[in-house]
Amino acid sequence: MKDGGPKRILIGKVGLDGHDRGAKFIVRALRDAGYEVIYTGIRRTPEQIVRTAVDEDVDAIGLSLLSGAHNELFERVVELLKAERARDVVLFAGGTIPDQDIPHLEALGFRRIFTPGTPLSEILSALADELASAPATPDEAAT
């Protein structure tokens, strides 16, 4: 059930890098803040991320990546989500992502990119805002 219960968030390590200190911190901090959080573990493909997101019926996906492969891999995640008609999922990301790449990622549909040093309080309030303003799911929109 999506309605009523806590929002569900998938934290995904997409690509080959094993740097998950930040991702694990966010997982635990989001759980402490009352969200239901699914953590994929490291080295997931875009296909695995999207499959898990659909199976778990999540409200948001947060991708973490520190290898510099974000432009290619995040784009692939967005393509696959579109194919699954899961466009209403709130997308955000974190990692070693240079400022110059952020406009491209925002154009793809990422609501927020949290770069190193972002305070947790800012991440939590931004996510709460984004989840509150998320559009209705396609099913609900159709009725």
Following CA atoms 18, 77, 46, 9 in sequence, which dihedral angle do they give, to the nearest 10 degrees? 70
Is the separation of the CB atoms in 27 and 11 below 8 Å? yes
- Does 103 interact with another protein (rule: CB under 8 A)? no
Alpha helix stretches (DSSP H) within the chain: 21-32, 46-55, 70-83, 102-108, 120-132, 138-142
Q: Per-residue x/- mask for another protein, residues 66 to 95, rule CB under 8 A? A: -xxx-xxx--x-------------------
Question: Quick one: 115 or 140, whose CB is closer to another protein?
Answer: 115
**Which residues are 60's β-sheet partners?**
9, 90
Q: How far is the CB of 41 from another protein (least distance, A)?
A: 5
For 9, 16, 82, 98, the CA distances from 116, given in Å and listed in that order, are 20, 19, 28, 10
Looking at 55, 87, 104, 115, which residue binds another protein (CB under 8 A)? 115
| Residue located via tokens 């999540």 | 58
Q: What is the DSSP letter of 100?
A: G
Looking at 33, 38, 86, 126, which residue binds another protein (CB under 8 A)? 38
**Which residue stretch of 17-25, 80-88, 103-111, 126-134 sits at the interface with another protein (rule: CB under 8 A)?**
17-25
Question: Quick one: 25 or 139, whose CB is closer to another protein?
Answer: 25
The residues that touch another protein, with contacts defined as CB under 8 A, are 15-21, 24-25, 27-28, 38-43, 45, 52, 67-69, 71-73, 76, 96, 98-100, 115-117, 119-121
